Amino acid sequence: MSSVADLMKRLEELVRLPFYALMGIASEKLVYMTTEQGVVRLWVSNKDGSDKRPASGERVTALSRPEPDSNIIVYARDVTKGQELGQIYTLDVDSLAEEKALEMTPTRVIGLVRRGDKIVYSGAAEDGVGIFMGEIGGKAEKLYTHQGLLFVTDYTGKYIVGTGMFRGPRSYELFRYDVETGEMKVFTPKEGSVNFSGRARDGRLFFKSDYEGSDWIYTVDVEDFSIETVEPFEKPGKEILDVEPLNWTYDGEVAYLVSTRDGFEAYLGTEKLPIDGGTVTSLEKVGGEIFLTYSSFTTPSGIYRLVDGRLERIHGSDPDQEIIGKVKKVSYVWIKSKDGLEIPTYILESDAPKPGPTVIYVHGGPWSHVMDAWSILILGLVAAGFHVVAPNFRGSTGYGTKFMKMDIGDPGGMDMEDIEAATNYAVETGLASKKAIMGYSYGGFMTFLSTVKKPDTWEVGVAGAGIVDWEEMFELGDAFFKQFALTLFDNRRDLWKDRSAINFVDNLKAPLCIIHPQNDTRTPLKPVLRYMEKLLEKGKSFEAHIIPDMGHTITTVDDIFKLLLPAVIFLRNKLY
């Protein structure tokens, strides 16, 4: 096993590899996110990658899609050291002049659109989730307040359109808000269906829905609500589990991902992109040219041009081959849970012995998923000598709406059984000896809860930015995260005590490594400090790392290093 000094050097090299993500095109320039200078911000470059320059200030949290024929882009930046209260700015991509776009109260911006001189956004308000509007250089005005989750996705000049929960926590409806009359019109193709909207184009709104029984993509006329199906590709001879829209490209074609039992494939219109393995996370087609963001477990996130069926890298990083060489095998398997439901799971084998020390990695969300994509946390664990098992437990996205909704009303219930099933699989197949559970955000919550609900399953736990007390978290949260908690639990507040680790401290056997941002407003620090007090009173083994000036979202290279390093050192000390 390598020394701690060697490990630190290896992890620092990994963490400092910049990521690149295409955001769009403005004034014939690529607009993209990167950590090339150690912090998340917007950069611009020519389409061939030349003349690249940092453009925005730090901690960009939301962006209105850039437009090719405009030199102005609009975005929000966190101005509160990680508390995710955003101020909206404009940027001239030619002169790189950044200015405040609106006079506004800094807020959690969760949807942002610019049309001409008008800016529309959705965000947390004092009394719910609001829709706000203002003219560049003017003052933001709140137009509408909703007691539920709501996301603005576009503005047509007459209507503000988007997605929201208007009829309970198990369905999403489309909405249009008339800025002239103030009328809010809610539309659903079928009661109880889940509908996620995207961009509007030529009077039609692009959206994903399960209203016909399985997930697909459609367009709807924003005036008369007539629906058209996006022309499907020639379907492969295997079951389609889900479709994930990427966007309506500048050239008018739809880009999307298709999920099957074998993984994910990327499509543009009716054509499958010639990309084997890895993941496409954004794609634009403009003037016949195709630009996209691509990565895999062993390829850092980069921006590419697709030319004659091959990827030409424009912006990207070359990883240390010694680190990549630690990944000996990647498998994608389906594991039966306690009730027979099959759980899609990625397994990354390191150069550790078999059976060997294994980390069960629990993703955040829960409405998210692990894909064959670059992940510093997962690769860092492999590079440190651990096998990694990453289950996409029920509630994960990417496997259909029915699978995603299975977590609603039962967080910390059957999803925990899925995680235990993946752990048992790792033991039964000869991969795992000693076992750890580790996660961030929802994964941190699952780590805290799993180690007290199933205290004999894992030898150690690493909980990052987790929730230990849902009742106190609800009281401390803003309007948006209050609605998130109510939605996730299907308004079953009676479950909050049972799904809060702070009420079961006596059961804990596994040593814990607790890592938490100081300025986290999604999973506040105060309940975790109380949990640590109880651990101390009960004589439980734990260590704690509070990261100053960091919020829930990881926005700097230093932040992720402060997360990864103590976790890896703790795991090495406990599992080897």
Give tens-digit pLDDT for 194-216: 999 999 999 999 999 999 988 99
| Tokens (6 digits) for 368 | 């998210």
Confidence (pLDDT) at 128: 85
In the predicted structure, residue 382 carries a pLDDT above the cut 60: yes
Report d(CA 191, CA 198) in Å as an integer: 20
Residue 235's pLDDT band (cuts 50, 70, 90):
low
pLDDT tens digits along 153-176? 999 999 999 999 999 888 999 999
pLDDT tens digits along 120-140? 999 988 788 999 999 999 999
Residue 305 to residues 69, 194, 264, 562, Cα–Cα distance (Å): 20, 34, 20, 34
CB 364 within 8 A of CB 440: yes
What would the mean pLDDT of 374-390 be, rounded to a whole number? 96
Confidence (pLDDT) at 225: 94
Tell me which DSSP letter residue 509 carries: -
The structure tokens 């709501």 sit at: 150
Residue 70's pLDDT band (cuts 50, 70, 90):
very high
Cross-sheet strand order for the sheet of 271-272: 240-248, 254-260, 263-268, 271-272
Confidence (pLDDT) at 2: 67
Nearest to 72 by CA among 137, 133, 19, 154: 137
Residue 269's pLDDT band (cuts 50, 70, 90):
confident
Segment among 10-14, 335-339, 356-360 with least mean pLDDT: 10-14
In the predicted structure, residue 263 carries a pLDDT above the cut 90: no
| Tokens (6 digits) for 31 | 């607009």
Query: Which residues, listed in sequence order, are joined to residue 76 by a DSSP beta bridge?
Result: 62, 88
pLDDT tens digits along 335-357? 999 999 999 999 999 999 999 99
Q: What are the helix (H) ranges across 69-188?
A: none
What would the mean pLDDT of 384-409 be, rounded to a whole number? 96
pLDDT tens digits along 86-108? 999 999 999 999 999 999 999 99
Residue 251 to residues 65, 66, 208, 290, 481, Cα–Cα distance (Å): 14, 14, 20, 10, 36
Report d(CA 29, CA 396) in Å as an integer: 35
The phi, psi pair for 552, rounded to 5°, reads -65, -40
Confidence (pLDDT) at 9: 87
Confidence (pLDDT) at 5: 80
Higher-confidence position of 7 and 111: 111
Confidence (pLDDT) at 434: 96
What would the mean pLDDT of 548-571 be, rounded to a whole number? 92
Environment class of residue 569 by beta-carbon count within 10 Å: exposed (0-12), middle (13-18) or buried (19+)?
middle
Confidence (pLDDT) at 16: 92
Environment class of residue 199 by beta-carbon count within 10 Å: exposed (0-12), middle (13-18) or buried (19+)?
middle
Residue 517 to residues 522, 532, 570, Cα–Cα distance (Å): 10, 15, 18
First to last CA, the chain: 9
In the predicted structure, residue 231 carries a pLDDT above the cut 80: no
What would the mean pLDDT of 45-64 be, rounded to a whole number? 95
In the predicted structure, residue 332 carries a pLDDT above the cut 70: yes
Confidence (pLDDT) at 356: 97
CB 373 within 8 A of CB 332: no
Residue 236's pLDDT band (cuts 50, 70, 90):
low
Q: What is the mean pLDDT of the chain?
A: 94
Higher-confidence position of 335 and 556: 335
Q: What percent of the chain has pLDDT over 90?
A: 84
* Cα angle value 536/538/539 (rounded, 5°): 65
* Exposure letters 72-82 (e unless 16+ CB within 10 A, then b): bbbbbbbbeeb
Q: What percent of the chain has pLDDT over 70?
A: 98
Nearest to 235 by CA among 261, 270, 209: 270
What would the mean pLDDT of 455-473 be, rounded to a whole number? 97
Residue 385's pLDDT band (cuts 50, 70, 90):
very high
In the predicted structure, residue 3 carries a pLDDT above the cut 80: no
Segment among 147-151, 435-439, 466-470 with least mean pLDDT: 147-151
pLDDT tens digits along 473-497? 999 988 888 889 999 999 999 999 9
Confidence (pLDDT) at 148: 86
Residues belonging to the active site: 441, 520, 552
Residue 234's pLDDT band (cuts 50, 70, 90):
low
What would the mean pLDDT of 106-124 be, rounded to a whole number? 94
